[in-house]
Structures are given as C-alpha cells and as structure tokens.
Amino acid sequence: MKVPFEFLEKMKKLLGKEEFDNFVKSYEMPRHYGLRVNTLKISVEEFLKTSPFKLKPIPWTNDGFYYLGEESPGKHPYYHAGLYYIQEPSAMLPGAVADARPGEYVLDLCAAPGGKTVQMAAGMKGKGLLIANDISADRVKALIKNIELCGVTNAIVTNEKPEKLVSKFKNFFDKILVDAPCSGEGMFRKDENAAKSWDKFKSELCCNMQRDILENAHEMLKPGGMLIYSTCTFSPEENEMMIGYFLDRFKEYELMDIVKTGGIDSGRPDWADGNKELVKSVRLWPHKLNGEGHFTALIRKKGHVESILDNKTTQSNSKELEPFYIFQEENLNRSIEGYFSIQGSHLYYLPVKSPDLSGIKISKFGWYLGEFARGRFEPKHSFIIPLKKEDLKITVDFDSKSGEVIKYLKGETLITEGTKGYTGVLVDGYTLGWAKQNDHMLKNLYPKGWRKMV
C-alpha cells in the first residue's frame, strides 16, 4: 500500500532505523479482524459454545476475539440479533480501560459509530446513564443503529459540540471517554482512504480540536472521576504531548496505570519533554501486536466522588400509559420499571431520571418502546432487542441455518401456524424482531431499513 512519504520520514526519526524497519514491514502484513461479544445479549461462554466462527482471544479485553478474514460475521443472523459487534481489535482497548460499571454516569464524547459506546453499555448492564454524543449528524445515524442493534436501554444520543454540553453537565460524569478526532495514522493498513486523506488531517489541525475537547471534558467530569483519552494515530503531538499539555493545564489530574498485555507498549515520555508519568499511557503498535495503531491514557481527577442523580427507579401510574400496560400484560412475562417519557405519541424509557436536556439536540432518548395509536400501544423494533426469550409470552424460534430466518431478515411474510397476536421472532433463542401472527401467516415487522437484500 502507498503510505505518505512525509509520514514515513517522521516515523523514521522517532523510531530509529531498526524499529522503523519492523514498523514498515507491518504494512506488508494482512490486517487483523475482530468482534466483541455483546454481553447484554449473551455471555462470552454461551457465545463460544454456539459461535460458527474460528475465534482466538484478544489479550486486552475479556469479550473480544479475532476471527479469520475470509469469514463474514456481518452477514450471519447472529449479527442481526446483536450478539456481537464487529470492531478492529486495537479499538477495543479504550472501552476496556474505561471499565464502565452498573449505576455510573458515563459520557462518550466523540461516540460515532458507536463501538466503544456499546462496549461501555455492556459493562453498565442497563443501569445508570450513558450519554453518547457526536458532532456529526450523519455519523449519529450509525451510532443510533448500533445502540439499538446491541439492545442498549440506558443511552441518550446527543448531537452537539462539546462546549454546548458543558452547561448541562458540569461536574456530572463518573467517566468520560474522549476517542478524539485525529490524523488517523494508525488506520492506514485498515483503511487506505485514511492514508490518502492524511494531508487534510495533519496533527496541527487535530491538536487544536483535541485541546478544546479535553478542556470541555474536564468541566463535565466529577472529582474522583476517570477520563479516558484515545486516538488511532502515532503522532506524539496528539498523544503524549497532548496528555502532557493537559496535565500541565489542570493540576488536579493524575495518570493511572493501564495493564500492558499482549504486546501493548508504554507511552514515550521522551517524546513529550521527558514527563516520566507518561510511561503509564500505552501504545499499540502494528509491528508489536495483532492490531492497528492506537494510543490510550487513563487520567483521574483528584477528589471525592459524589452521586448527582437519584439511581432509584419508579413505576409511573399515569393513565396515558394504560395501553402500554395492557400490551405488557398480554405479551410479556415481566414488567418494565423505570422512568417513562411520552413525547408526542412515542414512548421512551430510562432506568434513571433524565437530566435537564433543554436546548440540547437529542437524536435518541433512552429505550424507544413504541407508539400509541388508535388507543393501542404498538411496539417498535428497538423494544424487543434487549428482551430475552423468557420475557416474551409468544415466540417463534428459528435455527440460524434455516431458510426461515433469512426470509424474515429479508422482510418476507412467513407461512406458519401460531397463536394470534404479537410474536417475538428468535434465532437460536435470541431476540431478532417482532412479527404478528394472523391466521396461517406471520406478518413481518422487521424494519424496512434494516432488511437484508441478499
């Protein structure tokens, strides 16, 4: 592949001849492919028992696996059931370092397309609040789909500049992930377009954005909270030097150690005025491990952690919700308890009380359950994906190798007997979507925009 000459000259000066030669050889090697098991839907142990792919563990995360390049997990019904997320192996490290926990308040500040968002959501287990923000309205569309595909129920998606969020979330979050916009040098092997566009996104331009984003993140992080900073570039200006700048600017922060396993290397203090603390940051090099180029730093804001919002859930008794309760009684073996929001004719859910979001562009609010129409409640696709087989009263379960499951994903009507009414369509026991049984036909309710066309 063709790599920018100016970039190679810079790397040669940084690495020295011997390591540079090994680095350049990595561009002749094939890239590595990874998927991360979505533990909101299935445990790692269960997935390994049923997986049709040849998998090898990725060392720096408990739920990530390499798969062979000739395999096509994106075409398998399990992908459409949200059992895994396809993600570049090195890109799984920042989400693993974040180690999001149930009940926390977490911000993914530059979230699209959502790989790290859904990784942190899995750690939160549907509890607490996850704000996923991206400045690009186009990229937010992919973010929303991935959140819904993975069955995330506690996320709000915003489409704002970071400084706009500061007014609503001052000292609010337990953890903030900044997967910063960068020059993308670490993705040259994976994406040749990244190499072609390098001249347009050099470090100088990216550094200005990164400084602004980090300063806004500082305003929104609680004392005692954790800031995770990552890039997919090799540039010291965007990595060690950026973290060095941040630590000099804000004295209340300290770098935390990150476990170095599977070939992960330490950060390079000598590339940032010799700040020895920067050895706690980490680099992933394509010539030292099976993955692309990445940088990650874990930074703690000193002080005491205090809870901002009430974590207790409550069930609303509003008469407006009666059609939903009737649907729930007729179709589910569980009750949905939490905070409900009716916006127009649409019903949404969060496990905790929503913060004040007035003036903020909301692209997705919590778990979208469905719509009230003609005195009834009609469930939407995003409602069923987080549910389990045992949550549903009526189901039809297709084998992943069956023709029926492919027909369903294509949006076709299926000829089958069953109990009249809403039916949960499953693949090997995992929720895939809704259908509606009428007489001898199963009317397909799989979203038109999601249907397989092959």
What CATH number is attached to the domain comprising 264? 3.40.50.150
The domain boundary residue, chosen from 242, 274, 301: 301
Looking at the structure, do residues 295 and 428 belong to the same domain, yes or no? no
Q: Is 207 a catalytic residue?
A: no
Looking at the structure, do residues 393 and 291 belong to the same domain, yes or no? no
Contact 132, 114 (CB under 8 A): yes
- pLDDT value, residue 191: 78
Looking at the structure, do residues 290 and 404 belong to the same domain, yes or no? no
Q: Which of 110, 182, 206, 232 is catalytic?
A: 232
- pLDDT value, residue 313: 46
Looking at the structure, do residues 205 and 95 belong to the same domain, yes or no? yes
CATH code, domain carrying 429: 2.30.130.60
- pLDDT value, residue 306: 65
- pLDDT value, residue 317: 55
Can you tell me the distance from the alpha carbon of 353 to that of 256, in angstroms, rounded to the nearest whole number?
A: 32
- pLDDT value, residue 453: 62
Domain assignment present for residue 320? The answer is no
Looking at the structure, do residues 36 and 175 belong to the same domain, yes or no? yes
Domain assignment present for residue 342? The answer is no
- pLDDT value, residue 308: 54
Burial tier of 2 (Cβ tally within 10 Å: 0-12, 13-18, 19+): exposed
Contact residues for 95 (Cβ-Cβ < 8 A; gap 6+):
61, 115, 116, 119, 120, 177
Looking at the structure, do residues 199 and 53 belong to the same domain, yes or no? yes
Domain assignment present for residue 99? The answer is yes
Domain assignment present for residue 369? The answer is no
The domain boundary residue, chosen from 301, 333, 364: 301
Domain assignment present for residue 399? The answer is yes
- pLDDT value, residue 159: 98
Looking at the structure, do residues 290 and 402 belong to the same domain, yes or no? no
- pLDDT value, residue 452: 78
Domain assignment present for residue 109? The answer is yes
Contact residues for 257 (Cβ-Cβ < 8 A; gap 6+):
280, 298
Contact residues for 96 (Cβ-Cβ < 8 A; gap 6+):
60, 61, 62, 64, 119
- pLDDT value, residue 383: 98
Domain assignment present for residue 27? The answer is yes
pLDDT in tens, the chain (454 residues): 688 889 999 999 999 999 999 999 999 999 999 999 999 999 999 999 999 999 999 999 999 999 999 999 999 999 999 999 999 999 999 999 999 999 999 999 999 999 999 999 999 999 999 999 999 999 999 999 999 999 999 999 999 999 999 999 999 999 999 999 999 999 888 877 777 777 666 677 899 999 999 999 999 999 999 999 999 999 999 999 999 999 999 999 999 999 999 999 999 999 998 899 999 999 999 999 999 999 999 999 999 866 554 544 455 557 899 999 999 999 999 999 999 999 999 999 999 999 999 999 999 999 999 999 999 999 999 999 999 999 999 999 999 999 999 999 999 999 988 899 999 999 999 999 999 999 889 999 999 999 976 5
- State the residue range of the domain holding 453: 389-454
- CA 69 to centroid of chain Cα atoms: 22
Domain assignment present for residue 149? The answer is yes
The domain boundary residue, chosen from 301, 333, 368: 301
Contact residues for 303 (Cβ-Cβ < 8 A; gap 6+):
222, 223, 224, 252
Looking at the structure, do residues 130 and 25 belong to the same domain, yes or no? yes
Spell out where 252-354 has E strands.
253-256, 265-266, 282-284, 294-301, 339-343, 346-350
How many domains would you assign to the chain? 2
- Sole residue written with tokens 């009526």: 394
